[in-house]
Amino acid sequence: MEILAIDIGFGFTKASNGSRSLVFKSILGEAKEIQFKGGMLGENTPGENIQIELDGTSYFVGEMAERQSNVRSFTLDQAQFFGSFAKQLALAAAAQMVNSYTPVSLVTGLPIGYYREYKDGLVKLLLGDHKVVLINANGQPEEKVIKISNVRVIPQPFGSLFNLMLNEVGELGNKRYVREKTGVIDIGFKTSDFTVADRMRYSERGSRTTDSGISKAFSIIADKLREKSNVNIELFRLYEAVDQGVIKIRGKEFDLKGITDQVFGQLAKAIASEVDRLWTDDWDIDTIVLTGGGGAVLAKYLQPLISGKVVAVDPATDARLCNVQGYWKFGKHVWSRGVVQPPAQQIPAGSKP
Ligand SMILES: Nc1ncnc2c1ncn2[C@@H]1O[C@H](COP(=O)(O)OP(=O)(O)OP(=O)(O)O)[C@@H](O)[C@H]1O
Ligand SMILES: [Mg+2]
Protein backbone atom coordinates (compact mmCIF):
# COMPACT_ATOMS: atom_id res chain seq x y z
CA MET A 1 0.00 0.00 0.00
CA GLU A 2 1.48 3.30 -1.07
CA ILE A 3 0.54 6.64 0.48
CA LEU A 4 0.16 9.46 -1.98
CA ALA A 5 -0.79 13.10 -1.37
CA ILE A 6 -2.09 15.43 -4.07
CA ASP A 7 -2.98 19.11 -3.65
CA ILE A 8 -5.00 20.11 -6.70
CA GLY A 9 -4.68 23.90 -6.65
CA PHE A 10 -6.12 26.44 -9.04
CA GLY A 11 -2.59 27.57 -9.84
CA PHE A 12 -0.47 24.46 -9.35
CA THR A 13 -1.00 20.75 -8.81
CA LYS A 14 1.35 19.42 -6.17
CA ALA A 15 2.03 15.79 -5.24
CA SER A 16 4.19 13.94 -2.74
CA ASN A 17 4.87 10.29 -1.96
CA GLY A 18 6.93 11.04 1.12
CA SER A 19 10.27 10.90 -0.61
CA ARG A 20 9.65 12.79 -3.84
CA SER A 21 7.44 15.73 -4.73
CA LEU A 22 6.14 17.15 -7.96
CA VAL A 23 4.69 20.53 -8.99
CA PHE A 24 3.14 21.52 -12.30
CA LYS A 25 0.80 24.27 -13.46
CA SER A 26 -2.88 23.33 -13.36
CA ILE A 27 -3.34 23.70 -17.12
CA LEU A 28 -4.75 21.15 -19.54
CA GLY A 29 -4.21 21.36 -23.27
CA GLU A 30 -5.09 19.62 -26.45
CA ALA A 31 -2.40 17.09 -27.29
CA LYS A 32 -0.90 16.83 -30.73
CA GLU A 33 2.00 15.01 -32.34
CA ILE A 34 5.25 16.67 -31.44
CA GLN A 35 8.42 15.86 -33.30
CA PHE A 36 10.93 16.87 -30.63
CA LYS A 37 10.07 16.79 -26.99
CA GLY A 38 12.03 18.15 -24.08
CA GLY A 39 15.03 20.43 -24.36
CA MET A 40 16.74 20.69 -27.74
CA LEU A 41 19.91 19.30 -26.23
CA GLY A 42 18.05 16.46 -24.60
CA GLU A 43 17.66 17.97 -21.15
CA ASN A 44 14.51 17.17 -19.28
CA THR A 45 13.10 18.47 -16.05
CA PRO A 46 10.47 16.43 -14.21
CA GLY A 47 7.03 17.92 -14.58
CA GLU A 48 7.90 19.51 -17.91
CA ASN A 49 6.72 16.85 -20.31
CA ILE A 50 3.47 15.44 -19.10
CA GLN A 51 1.08 13.90 -21.56
CA ILE A 52 -1.69 11.56 -20.52
CA GLU A 53 -4.52 9.73 -22.13
CA LEU A 54 -7.60 9.33 -20.01
CA ASP A 55 -11.06 8.09 -20.95
CA GLY A 56 -10.14 8.25 -24.63
CA THR A 57 -8.83 11.83 -24.64
CA SER A 58 -5.21 12.84 -24.84
CA TYR A 59 -4.01 15.86 -22.88
CA PHE A 60 -0.87 17.86 -22.48
CA VAL A 61 -0.57 18.87 -18.86
CA GLY A 62 1.11 21.78 -17.08
CA GLU A 63 4.05 23.55 -18.73
CA MET A 64 3.72 21.23 -21.72
CA ALA A 65 0.17 22.51 -22.36
CA GLU A 66 1.32 26.09 -21.85
CA ARG A 67 4.10 25.72 -24.40
CA GLN A 68 2.70 23.32 -26.97
CA SER A 69 -1.09 23.28 -27.07
CA ASN A 70 -3.05 25.51 -29.42
CA VAL A 71 -6.07 25.04 -27.24
CA ARG A 72 -5.24 25.45 -23.55
CA SER A 73 -7.61 25.46 -20.68
CA PHE A 74 -7.17 26.89 -17.30
CA THR A 75 -9.93 28.01 -14.99
CA LEU A 76 -10.60 29.93 -11.83
CA ASP A 77 -14.23 28.81 -11.76
CA GLN A 78 -14.69 26.24 -9.02
CA ALA A 79 -17.53 24.25 -10.63
CA GLN A 80 -15.56 23.92 -13.85
CA PHE A 81 -12.36 23.16 -11.97
CA PHE A 82 -13.77 20.29 -9.91
CA GLY A 83 -15.92 19.12 -12.83
CA SER A 84 -13.44 19.14 -15.70
CA PHE A 85 -9.91 19.53 -14.37
CA ALA A 86 -9.46 17.94 -10.94
CA LYS A 87 -9.53 14.29 -12.06
CA GLN A 88 -7.18 14.81 -15.01
CA LEU A 89 -4.71 16.83 -12.94
CA ALA A 90 -4.76 14.37 -10.04
CA LEU A 91 -4.25 11.36 -12.29
CA ALA A 92 -1.52 13.12 -14.26
CA ALA A 93 0.27 13.57 -10.95
CA ALA A 94 -0.49 10.05 -9.68
CA ALA A 95 0.68 8.43 -12.92
CA GLN A 96 4.13 9.91 -12.34
CA MET A 97 4.35 9.01 -8.69
CA VAL A 98 3.09 5.44 -8.33
CA ASN A 99 3.48 2.11 -10.09
CA SER A 100 0.79 0.36 -12.05
CA TYR A 101 -1.57 -1.82 -9.99
CA THR A 102 -0.05 -0.72 -6.64
CA PRO A 103 -2.90 0.00 -4.23
CA VAL A 104 -2.78 3.67 -3.31
CA SER A 105 -4.21 5.47 -0.31
CA LEU A 106 -4.71 9.05 -1.35
CA VAL A 107 -4.98 12.23 0.72
CA THR A 108 -6.18 15.34 -1.00
CA GLY A 109 -7.88 18.58 0.03
CA LEU A 110 -10.45 21.22 -0.75
CA PRO A 111 -10.66 24.87 0.23
CA ILE A 112 -12.75 25.16 3.41
CA GLY A 113 -15.51 27.06 1.61
CA TYR A 114 -15.95 24.31 -0.99
CA TYR A 115 -15.52 21.38 1.39
CA ARG A 116 -19.14 20.51 2.00
CA GLU A 117 -20.22 20.94 -1.60
CA TYR A 118 -17.44 19.05 -3.37
CA LYS A 119 -16.08 16.51 -0.90
CA ASP A 120 -18.20 13.50 -1.82
CA GLY A 121 -17.94 14.26 -5.51
CA LEU A 122 -14.17 14.43 -5.30
CA VAL A 123 -13.94 11.09 -3.49
CA LYS A 124 -16.17 9.49 -6.14
CA LEU A 125 -14.10 11.00 -8.92
CA LEU A 126 -10.82 9.62 -7.60
CA LEU A 127 -11.68 6.30 -5.95
CA GLY A 128 -11.20 3.12 -7.97
CA ASP A 129 -9.08 1.91 -10.87
CA HIS A 130 -8.11 4.37 -13.56
CA LYS A 131 -6.51 3.39 -16.81
CA VAL A 132 -4.05 6.10 -17.79
CA VAL A 133 -1.64 6.17 -20.70
CA LEU A 134 1.42 8.17 -19.79
CA ILE A 135 3.43 9.30 -22.79
CA ASN A 136 7.09 9.52 -21.89
CA ALA A 137 9.61 12.07 -23.17
CA ASN A 138 10.48 9.83 -26.14
CA GLY A 139 6.85 9.68 -27.16
CA GLN A 140 6.48 6.07 -26.01
CA PRO A 141 3.11 5.29 -24.46
CA GLU A 142 3.12 3.48 -21.12
CA GLU A 143 -0.20 2.15 -19.94
CA LYS A 144 -0.75 2.26 -16.22
CA VAL A 145 -3.58 1.25 -13.98
CA ILE A 146 -3.75 3.62 -11.03
CA LYS A 147 -5.48 1.80 -8.22
CA ILE A 148 -6.85 4.23 -5.68
CA SER A 149 -8.18 2.15 -2.80
CA ASN A 150 -8.74 4.87 -0.21
CA VAL A 151 -9.36 8.59 -0.45
CA ARG A 152 -9.32 11.12 2.37
CA VAL A 153 -10.27 14.72 1.67
CA ILE A 154 -9.26 17.32 4.25
CA PRO A 155 -9.58 21.10 4.28
CA GLN A 156 -6.52 22.45 2.45
CA PRO A 157 -5.01 24.64 5.19
CA PHE A 158 -4.98 21.63 7.56
CA GLY A 159 -2.21 20.32 5.33
CA SER A 160 0.17 23.05 6.44
CA LEU A 161 -0.84 22.53 10.05
CA PHE A 162 -0.20 18.77 9.89
CA ASN A 163 3.10 19.52 8.20
CA LEU A 164 4.16 21.47 11.29
CA MET A 165 2.63 19.08 13.83
CA LEU A 166 3.59 15.68 12.49
CA ASN A 167 7.05 14.29 11.82
CA GLU A 168 8.28 12.28 8.84
CA VAL A 169 6.66 9.08 10.10
CA GLY A 170 3.32 10.71 10.79
CA GLU A 171 3.72 10.93 14.57
CA LEU A 172 3.16 14.03 16.66
CA GLY A 173 6.44 15.86 16.62
CA ASN A 174 5.99 19.49 17.53
CA LYS A 175 3.70 19.40 20.54
CA ARG A 176 3.45 23.17 20.60
CA TYR A 177 0.77 23.14 17.93
CA VAL A 178 -1.13 20.49 19.88
CA ARG A 179 -1.33 22.63 23.01
CA GLU A 180 -1.79 26.04 21.47
CA LYS A 181 -4.30 27.97 19.43
CA THR A 182 -3.08 28.36 15.88
CA GLY A 183 -4.42 30.41 12.99
CA VAL A 184 -3.55 29.41 9.45
CA ILE A 185 -3.61 31.76 6.45
CA ASP A 186 -3.13 29.79 3.23
CA ILE A 187 -2.83 32.10 0.23
CA GLY A 188 -3.06 30.39 -3.13
CA PHE A 189 -3.64 31.46 -6.69
CA LYS A 190 -7.41 31.84 -6.51
CA THR A 191 -8.27 31.46 -2.84
CA SER A 192 -7.19 32.53 0.58
CA ASP A 193 -8.13 30.00 3.21
CA PHE A 194 -8.30 30.87 6.88
CA THR A 195 -8.66 28.39 9.69
CA VAL A 196 -8.20 28.19 13.44
CA ALA A 197 -7.18 25.09 15.37
CA ASP A 198 -7.61 25.46 19.11
CA ARG A 199 -5.66 22.66 20.77
CA MET A 200 -6.30 20.52 17.69
CA ARG A 201 -10.00 21.36 17.61
CA TYR A 202 -11.28 22.92 14.44
CA SER A 203 -13.04 26.26 14.82
CA GLU A 204 -15.79 26.81 12.30
CA ARG A 205 -16.17 30.41 13.39
CA GLY A 206 -12.59 31.24 12.50
CA SER A 207 -12.54 29.40 9.18
CA ARG A 208 -13.37 30.70 5.76
CA THR A 209 -12.40 30.82 2.10
CA THR A 210 -12.22 34.08 0.18
CA ASP A 211 -11.25 35.01 -3.35
CA SER A 212 -8.21 37.02 -2.23
CA GLY A 213 -5.65 34.92 -4.10
CA ILE A 214 -2.61 36.06 -6.07
CA SER A 215 -4.61 35.93 -9.33
CA LYS A 216 -6.45 39.06 -8.18
CA ALA A 217 -3.20 41.00 -8.24
CA PHE A 218 -2.13 39.31 -11.50
CA SER A 219 -5.40 40.39 -13.21
CA ILE A 220 -4.64 44.02 -12.50
CA ILE A 221 -1.11 43.61 -13.84
CA ALA A 222 -2.44 41.84 -16.98
CA ASP A 223 -4.98 44.65 -17.55
CA LYS A 224 -2.26 47.28 -17.34
CA LEU A 225 -0.07 45.33 -19.76
CA ARG A 226 -2.94 44.97 -22.20
CA GLU A 227 -3.47 48.73 -22.20
CA LYS A 228 0.19 49.30 -22.92
CA SER A 229 0.92 46.49 -25.37
CA ASN A 230 -2.42 45.33 -26.77
CA VAL A 231 -1.53 41.77 -25.86
CA ASN A 232 -3.80 39.72 -23.71
CA ILE A 233 -1.56 37.85 -21.30
CA GLU A 234 -2.87 34.66 -19.71
CA LEU A 235 -2.49 34.93 -15.94
CA PHE A 236 -0.47 31.74 -15.66
CA ARG A 237 2.23 33.31 -17.87
CA LEU A 238 2.95 35.97 -15.28
CA TYR A 239 4.54 33.95 -12.44
CA GLU A 240 8.10 34.23 -13.67
CA ALA A 241 7.77 37.79 -14.98
CA VAL A 242 6.37 39.07 -11.69
CA ASP A 243 9.07 37.22 -9.81
CA GLN A 244 11.77 38.79 -11.99
CA GLY A 245 10.13 42.22 -12.09
CA VAL A 246 10.19 42.52 -15.85
CA ILE A 247 8.37 41.16 -18.91
CA LYS A 248 9.32 41.30 -22.57
CA ILE A 249 6.39 41.58 -24.97
CA ARG A 250 7.11 41.61 -28.71
CA GLY A 251 10.65 42.70 -28.01
CA LYS A 252 9.76 45.52 -25.65
CA GLU A 253 10.54 45.34 -21.95
CA PHE A 254 8.01 46.43 -19.35
CA ASP A 255 9.04 46.99 -15.78
CA LEU A 256 6.73 45.22 -13.32
CA LYS A 257 8.37 46.10 -10.00
CA GLY A 258 6.36 49.23 -9.25
CA ILE A 259 2.96 47.83 -10.16
CA THR A 260 3.67 44.53 -8.41
CA ASP A 261 4.59 46.33 -5.22
CA GLN A 262 1.39 48.32 -5.43
CA VAL A 263 -1.01 45.44 -6.17
CA PHE A 264 0.62 43.04 -3.70
CA GLY A 265 0.38 45.78 -1.08
CA GLN A 266 -3.33 46.24 -1.82
CA LEU A 267 -3.99 42.50 -1.74
CA ALA A 268 -2.16 42.18 1.58
CA LYS A 269 -4.29 44.98 2.99
CA ALA A 270 -7.47 43.23 1.88
CA ILE A 271 -6.33 39.94 3.42
CA ALA A 272 -5.29 41.62 6.67
CA SER A 273 -8.72 43.19 7.03
CA GLU A 274 -10.38 39.82 6.32
CA VAL A 275 -8.23 38.36 9.10
CA ASP A 276 -9.18 41.18 11.47
CA ARG A 277 -12.89 40.66 10.85
CA LEU A 278 -12.79 36.88 10.91
CA TRP A 279 -10.66 36.53 14.04
CA THR A 280 -12.12 39.40 16.08
CA ASP A 281 -13.08 37.02 18.87
CA ASP A 282 -9.96 34.93 18.52
CA TRP A 283 -7.58 37.45 20.11
CA ASP A 284 -6.00 34.58 22.05
CA ILE A 285 -4.37 32.95 19.01
CA ASP A 286 -0.80 31.99 19.92
CA THR A 287 0.67 31.65 16.45
CA ILE A 288 -0.45 32.63 12.97
CA VAL A 289 1.00 30.45 10.23
CA LEU A 290 1.33 32.01 6.81
CA THR A 291 1.45 29.39 4.09
CA GLY A 292 0.78 28.57 0.41
CA GLY A 293 2.82 29.91 -2.49
CA GLY A 294 0.99 33.22 -2.21
CA GLY A 295 1.76 33.36 1.52
CA ALA A 296 5.45 33.31 0.68
CA VAL A 297 5.28 36.14 -1.86
CA LEU A 298 2.98 38.29 0.27
CA ALA A 299 4.80 37.70 3.57
CA LYS A 300 6.77 40.95 3.56
CA TYR A 301 3.61 42.98 2.82
CA LEU A 302 1.37 41.09 5.20
CA GLN A 303 3.56 40.64 8.27
CA PRO A 304 3.52 44.32 9.31
CA LEU A 305 -0.29 44.44 8.93
CA ILE A 306 -1.13 41.48 11.15
CA SER A 307 -0.77 41.74 14.87
CA GLY A 308 0.37 38.66 16.72
CA LYS A 309 3.12 36.17 16.21
CA VAL A 310 3.21 35.45 12.48
CA VAL A 311 5.31 32.57 11.25
CA ALA A 312 6.09 32.49 7.54
CA VAL A 313 7.56 29.56 5.66
CA ASP A 314 11.35 29.47 5.48
CA PRO A 315 12.21 31.24 2.19
CA ALA A 316 14.55 28.38 1.31
CA THR A 317 11.62 25.96 1.00
CA ASP A 318 8.84 26.00 -1.57
CA ALA A 319 5.74 27.20 0.29
CA ARG A 320 3.48 25.78 -2.40
CA LEU A 321 4.36 22.32 -1.06
CA CYS A 322 3.43 22.84 2.62
CA ASN A 323 -0.13 21.55 2.26
CA VAL A 324 0.74 18.49 0.22
CA GLN A 325 3.57 17.53 2.56
CA GLY A 326 1.15 17.73 5.46
CA TYR A 327 -1.43 15.66 3.58
CA TRP A 328 1.18 12.95 3.17
CA LYS A 329 2.10 12.99 6.87
CA PHE A 330 -1.59 12.81 7.72
CA GLY A 331 -1.94 9.79 5.40
CA LYS A 332 1.01 8.16 7.13
CA HIS A 333 -0.58 8.89 10.50
CA VAL A 334 -3.91 7.41 9.45
CA TRP A 335 -2.89 4.38 7.44
CA SER A 336 0.46 3.33 8.82
CA ARG A 337 -0.34 3.47 12.47
CA GLY A 338 -4.02 2.81 12.51
CA VAL A 339 -4.66 5.25 15.37
CA VAL A 340 -6.89 8.01 14.29
CA GLN A 341 -9.19 10.69 15.23
CA PRO A 342 -9.87 11.82 11.68
CA PRO A 343 -9.95 15.62 11.85
CA ALA A 344 -11.69 15.80 8.48
CA GLN A 345 -14.78 14.28 10.03
CA GLN A 346 -14.93 16.83 12.79
CA ILE A 347 -15.51 19.52 10.21
CA PRO A 348 -18.48 19.16 7.96
CA ALA A 349 -17.87 22.72 7.27
CA GLY A 350 -17.45 25.88 5.45
CA SER A 351 -18.87 29.18 4.49
CA LYS A 352 -18.91 30.10 0.83
CA PRO A 353 -16.78 32.99 -0.30
N1 LIG B 1 8.59 28.97 -7.45
C2 LIG B 1 7.40 29.50 -7.69
N3 LIG B 1 6.87 29.44 -8.94
C4 LIG B 1 5.66 29.95 -9.21
N5 LIG B 1 4.89 30.56 -8.28
C6 LIG B 1 5.37 30.66 -7.04
C7 LIG B 1 6.61 30.13 -6.67
N8 LIG B 1 6.79 30.35 -5.35
C9 LIG B 1 5.69 31.01 -4.91
N10 LIG B 1 4.84 31.22 -5.92
C11 LIG B 1 3.56 31.85 -5.77
O12 LIG B 1 2.69 30.79 -5.45
C13 LIG B 1 1.39 31.07 -5.91
C14 LIG B 1 0.62 29.78 -6.03
O15 LIG B 1 0.56 29.18 -4.76
P16 LIG B 1 -0.13 27.79 -4.49
O17 LIG B 1 0.49 26.72 -5.32
O18 LIG B 1 -0.14 27.60 -3.03
O19 LIG B 1 -1.59 28.09 -5.06
P20 LIG B 1 -2.74 27.03 -5.42
O21 LIG B 1 -2.79 26.04 -4.32
O22 LIG B 1 -2.49 26.50 -6.79
O23 LIG B 1 -4.03 27.96 -5.45
P24 LIG B 1 -5.41 27.77 -4.63
O25 LIG B 1 -5.02 27.46 -3.21
O26 LIG B 1 -6.11 29.06 -4.79
O27 LIG B 1 -6.09 26.61 -5.30
C28 LIG B 1 1.63 31.79 -7.20
O29 LIG B 1 0.57 32.69 -7.43
C30 LIG B 1 2.94 32.55 -6.97
O31 LIG B 1 2.67 33.89 -6.59
MG1 LIG C 1 -3.74 26.00 -2.44
Atom number, ligand 1, closest to the C-alpha of residue 318: 8
Per-residue pLDDT tens for 90-133? 999 999 999 999 999 999 999 999 999 999 999 999 999 999 99
Is 33's pLDDT higher than 50?
yes
Rounded Cα–Cα distance for residues 349 and 353 (Å): 13
Instruction: Report helix, strand or coil for 65.
Output: helix
Q: What share of the chain is helix, strand, coil (3-state, %, to 5)?
A: 40, 30, 30
Nearest by Cα to 292 from 172, 192, 211, 151: 192
2-156, CATH topology level: Nucleotidyltransferase; domain 5 (3.30.420)
Per-residue pLDDT tens for 172-223? 988 888 899 999 999 999 999 999 999 989 999 999 999 999 999 999 999 9
Indicate if ligand 1 lies below 6 Å from the C-beta of 190. Answer: yes
* Percent residues over pLDDT 90 in the chain: 79
Q: Which residue puts its alpha carbon closest to atom 24 of ligand 1?
A: 188
DSSP 110: E
pLDDT band at 35 (very low <50, low <70, confident <90, very high): low
Rounded Cα–Cα distance for residues 235 and 191 (Å): 15
User: What pTM was computed for the model?
Assistant: 0.92
Within 10 angstroms of residue 20's Cβ, the number of other Cβ atoms is: 10
Within 10 angstroms of residue 57's Cβ, the number of other Cβ atoms is: 11
pLDDT band at 336 (very low <50, low <70, confident <90, very high): confident
Q: Which residue puts its alpha carbon closest to atom 25 of ligand 1?
A: 188
Indicate the domain borders of the chain.
2-156
Contacts for 293 with CB less than 8 Å, ≥ 6 apart: 11, 12, 187, 188, 189, 214, 318, 319, 320
Indicate if ligand 1 lies below 6 Å from the C-beta of 333. Answer: no
pLDDT band at 344 (very low <50, low <70, confident <90, very high): very low
pLDDT given at position 350: 40
CA distances from 64 to 37, 45, 89, 236 (A): 9, 11, 13, 13
Tell me the sheet residues that pair with 311: 289
Rounded to 10 deg, the angle between the 214-229 and 257-278 helix axes is 150
Question: Which ligand is nearest the CA of 11, by number?
Answer: 1
Per-residue pLDDT tens for 284-293? 999 999 999 9
Q: How far is the CA of 18 from the centre of ligand 1 (A)?
A: 21
Q: Are strands 57-61 and 2-8 parallel, antiparallel or unpaired?
A: unpaired
Question: Which ligand is nearest the CA of 23, by number?
Answer: 1
Amino acid at 215: S
Contact 267, 299 (CB under 8 A): no
Indicate if ligand 1 lies below 6 Å from the C-beta of 62. Answer: no
Per-residue pLDDT tens for 125-149? 999 999 999 887 677 888 999 999 9
